Amino acid sequence: MKPEDKDKLNKCLEILDTTDLGLSLVWLWTWSTINNILEDETYKANVTKDDMWDHLCEAVSAGMGFSLEYGADQHHEDVQDWMISRDYIVDTMFEDEEDLCESCESNPKEDPEGLYCTSCRDDFKESDNDEE
């Protein structure tokens, strides 16, 4: 930290004090976390930042809350889980796994029940316990 950082932090506090947010630091941290998640290439955003702000405001109005009580990592996980559970973001690591053919691993299933692949036309089971 540099001496001039104190002045910058004091300006931030002045701004936060003008809001009507009860726990302004928590909401600042939450909004920062949301922005970081939206900018993270690990996730595909299904909403804009403006949409996300609206969703956050709706959630707060409905009584949803986040806490820093258990630390930054837990807070990040809680925000991330909330965003994923409402399809605001998708984890790209797991995005396509369920929709890929088990044989060629690259073509989407054509049948809604997942009976064959559009490319290789290979019949496949959803699991080893399924009967054909």
State pLDDT tens for residues 24-52.
Answer: 888 899 999 999 999 999 899 999 999 99
Residues 60 and 77 grouped into a single domain? yes
Helix (H, G, I), strand (E, B) or coil at 43: strand
Q: Give the H/E segment covering residue 16.
A: helix 3-17
Is residue 2 a part of any domain in this protein? no
Cβ-based neighbour number of residue 96 at 10 Å:
12
Is residue 116 a part of any domain in this protein? yes
Q: Which pLDDT tens digit goes with each residue over 80-93?
A: 999 999 999 998 87
Is residue 18 a part of any domain in this protein? no
pLDDT at 72 over 90: yes
Q: In this structure, are residues 31 and 25 in contact, taking their beta carbons and an 8 Å threshold?
A: no
- Print the domain residue range for 103: 98-132
Residues 110 and 78 grouped into a single domain? no
Residues 104 and 86 grouped into a single domain? no
According to DSSP, the residues that pair with 100 across neighbouring strands are 108
Look at residue 29 in the predicted model and tell me its pLDDT.
93
Q: Give the H/E segment covering residue 46.
A: none
Residues 104 and 130 grouped into a single domain? yes
Residues 35 and 73 grouped into a single domain? yes
Is residue 17 a part of any domain in this protein? no
How much of the chain is in helix, strand and coil states, percent to nearest 5? 45, 10, 45
What percent of the chain has a predicted confidence (pLDDT) above 90? 46
Is residue 12 a part of any domain in this protein? no
Contacts of 108 (CB under 8 A, 6+ apart): 99, 100, 101, 117, 118
Helix (H, G, I), strand (E, B) or coil at 89: strand
Residues 87 and 104 grouped into a single domain? no
Residues 29 and 85 grouped into a single domain? yes
Residues 108 and 72 grouped into a single domain? no
pTM: 0.66
Q: In this structure, are residues 124 and 117 in contact, taking their beta carbons and an 8 Å threshold?
A: yes
The count of structural domains within the chain is 2
- Secondary structure letter of residue 118 according to DSSP: T
Is residue 11 a part of any domain in this protein? no
Report d(CA 79, CA 5) in Å as an integer. Answer: 28
